[in-house]
Structure 1
Amino acid sequence: MAATVAARWWEDAAISVGMVAVQLAGAAYMVVLTPILALGLDPLFLVTFGSLSTGILALPFALNLDRNKWPSELSNRLILELVVLSLGGVTVFQALMLDGMKKTSPAIASAMLNLAPGFIFVVAGCLRFERVDLKCRYTRAKIVGTLLCLGGAITMSILQSPATPQGRRSPDLAAWVVGCLCLLGAVLVLSGTIILQAATLIRFPAPFTLCAMTSLIGALLTGMFQVFTTGRLGPGTLQISTGIILSLVFVGSLVSSVSIMYQTWVLEKKGPVLVSLFSPTQTMGSAIFSALFLGRVVQPASILGMLFLFSGLYAVLWAKKKEGHVLPPADRVVADDIEKPLLLPR
């Protein structure tokens, strides 16, 4: 029993450290992309070739680790889910996120992502992917923690106003508002696709294959959309060499591939709410990296938002950890099934 508890503790610790690393890597990539997007790089081109590279890099893992989990035939329902996941999670989400980040800042973009846990918690609770019992203090703690995350994201979005490195307000406030709306749309799309991904993995428990297929389909759909809207498939009007752009796309795809595959694995192990709750780490990383490397002004009051975000994250993680130890054995089976809805039957 003690060995099982120790093994579970080490697994939880490794997952937490890995998720923090994934979020910080995402924050660094967003900061690097910001000046490149400002030079004229088309976000649709970045999504197309970034997703294509992600799919290609994920294929060897899918072939070696997931082959025995593949169904004998693809049902129409599974094909529809793959297309919807690709369209929402790859094309629409990334295009809205990159365009919104281009009009605002990496710190605001990552802060908006912290709205996702609230949406996901509500939907996951309704679908029984997450244990919800208002009489239980741990459920109440998860609700309070989720509200703190939401409050922190909203606080940062309001207080981190558009400003230049010298502290002067950006003259294009309309673009800032449009960018925030794009980011909000991206969060709504992300929330829906994470829940759908969790449901799809129940019937198709092959996370690396799912990552590869949705990335490749998403790259095809995004490329078709760019050709339809702009008449060509190209990087846009660039002020730097295409070689630098392709190198950036490849490196970003490598980081993105590892991050997506790792998050999909954690999604299978722990459920959608836990995955989304680590996004505050990206908010902090983006704010710090933007201040260090882009000269972005971080409003002192926005630190309050960060405190809300991390307080909420800690509250939810604490509650989820305690749930697994204090529930009666009969209820614990149900709670484990809800907290880990994507495990294969043992």
Structure 2
Amino acid sequence: MSAELVKGTLERAKPYAAVILLQLGFSITPIVTKSSLNQGMSQHVLVVYRHAVAAVFIAPFAMIFEWKGRPNMTTSVFLKIMLLALLEPVIDQNLYYTGMKYTTATFAAAMMNVIPAFAFLMAWSLRLEKVDLRSIRSQAKIIGTLVTVGGAMLMTLVKGPVIGLPWTKATENSSQLASGIAGEDPVKGGLMIVAGCSCWASFIILQAITLKSYPAKLSLTVLICLMGSLQGTIVALAMDRLNQAAWSLKPDVKLGAVLYNGIVSSGVAYYIQGIVMPIKGPVFVTAFSPLSMVVVAILGSFTLHEIMYLGRVIGALVIVVGLYLVLWGKSKDEPPETLPVEQVKGQVSQKCDVVDA
């Protein structure tokens, strides 16, 4: 095998490796987040601290690598950044964390698989996605969207019998079973998570649009996180104005959740998405989300002693089937417009080297 062929294969594999690593990073997020919420962490304060940490972490890289190549800030780009910060760091994460308080980490991770279906519907409504009802690929995307939504409803409304796992002893320990059910409201929590997912899907589409006029990915990440932290502060002050203790942090699981979510789930995640989307498109970024769901289910049952129910497992599988119907239909479309090959290769190599560092 020639050196050029090996090099080309590695270049093509980089987006896949980046997205897989992204999903593995996401799989830890619900675990540390649920642990911190169980310890009394305010979800609104967590949103503020998370994005403040992300902005501080990414800012030095933006100053070093994009000092000269950063495009001028325009009113249009600034308004898009403000909307991006409102959609994902503020609305989505406040709803997602609140919904997680009423459910489990595994439930929340599984519901995130509805995002590609929502992204397809929004892209269709904005005429960013071409749909021909006579073509099989368009029919697959529409059916997949309906199946995905149906799976989300199944997870929310149908619990089913308990799946007894040896390490949780869910069927043998009645007190643990009661504690797993107490405080849960899957309908309320599910609706909040679904609403948050719709904001996340909107964020992904708007991020892809914004990158065309402001391609400085590191700087864009910093600005989104900074604006998200400022806007989130207003929400947190309104929701937790009588609880000053909610803002205090100690070296415990709460601080760990802030640091991990800020550095990995916001800072690195937004940046990797910005690298991959111009090459593979926004739907590709969400294609590997079931990987995160499986890891969360395993870790959640071990670390949080979460009880698994047959109805929710079936609902999660239905969501995955719908997801891949959407992705199969999307794969049959024409590839999105990309940069010239040589420019893409140079950009990917440079950006992925920054992430590796």
Q: Which bracket does the TM-score occupy, shorter chain normalised?
A: 0.7 to 0.9
Counterparts of 1:220 and 1:127, CA distance in 2: 29
Match of 1:220 in 2: 230
Matches within 5 A, 1:175-324: 175-231=185-241, 234=244, 236=246, 242-244=250-252, 245-256=254-265, 257-323=267-333
Q: CA deviation at 1:108?
A: 1.7
| Structure 2 partner of 1:75 | 74
Q: Percent identity?
A: 29
2:84 and 2:206 in contact (8 A); partners too: yes
Q: Give TM-score scaled by structure 1 length.
A: 0.80
- Other structure's SS at 1:205 match: coil
Q: Which residue is 1:94 aligned to?
A: 93
Distance in 2 between residues matched to 1:52 and 1:233, nearest whole Å:
20
The structure-2 alpha-carbon separation of the partners of 1:99 and 1:283, relative to structure 1 and needing over 3 Å to count, comes to same
**Other structure's SS at 2:307 match:** coil
Aligned to 1:170: 181
| Contact 2:113–2:323, Cα closer than 8 Å, also in 1 | no
1:118 Cα shift? 1.3
Provide the C-alpha distance between the structure 1 equivalents of 2:294 and 2:105, rounded to a whole number of angstroms: 10
Deviation at 1:171? 4.5
Q: Residue type matched to 2:261 in 1?
A: G
Change in CA separation of 1:131 and 1:235 when aligned onto 2, cut-off 3 Å: farther
Q: Give the distance between the partners of 1:224 and 1:155, measured in 2 at CA.
A: 35
Q: Report the CA distance between 1:342 and its aligned residue.
A: 12
- CA shift in 2, pair 1:162/1:247, >3 Å: farther
Q: Which stretches in structure 2 are left out of the alignment for 5+ residues?
A: 163-167, 171-175, 345-357
Aligned partner of 2:23 in structure 1 is: 23
Conserved 8 A contact 1:207-1:268: no
Q: Please state how far the C-alpha of 1:192 moved relative to its aligned partner.
A: 1.7
Superposed displacement of residue 234, structure 1: 4.9
The gaps in structure 1 that reach 5 residues or longer are 325-334
Matched, 1:84 2:83: yes
Q: Give 1:319 deviation, angstroms.
A: 4.7
Cα distance change of structure 1 residues 191 and 4 upon mapping to structure 2, 3 Å threshold = farther
Q: CA deviation at 1:229?
A: 3.6
Contact 1:129–1:271, Cα closer than 8 Å, also in 2: no
State the Cα distance separating 1:320 from its structure 2 match. Answer: 4.5
Q: Deviations over 1:70-109 (max 9, x none)?
A: 223x222211111111122111111111111011111221
Moved more, 179-188 or 223-232: 223-232
Q: Distance in 2 between matches of 1:233 and 1:308?
A: 41
Partner residue of 1:332? none
- May I ask how many residue pairs the two structures share in their alignment? 329
After TM superposition, give the deviation of residue 148 of structure 1 in Å.
4.1
Q: Deviations over 1:324-343 (max 9, x none)?
A: 5xxxxxxxxxx432xx5999
Deviation at 1:36, TM superposition (A): 1.9
Supply the RMSD in Å over aligned alpha carbons: 3.5
**Any idea what SS the aligned residue of 1:243 has?**
coil
Structure 2 length-normalised TM: 0.78
Q: Which amino acid aligns with 2:231?
A: L
Distance 1:248 1:229, change over 3 A: closer
Report the residue type matching 2:21 in the other structure. Answer: A
Of 42-51 and 133-142, the range deviating more from structure 2? 133-142
For residues 23-54 of structure 1, the C-alpha deviation after alignment (integer angstroms, 9 at most, x for no partner) is 23222221122132122111122111110111
Are the counterparts in 2 of residues 198 and 272 from structure 1 also a CA contact under 8 Å?
Answer: yes
The residue aligned with 1:53 is 53
Counterpart CA distance in 2 for 1:96 and 1:200 is: 24
Residue 34 in 1 paired to residue 34 in 2? yes
Q: CA deviation at 1:11?
A: 4.6
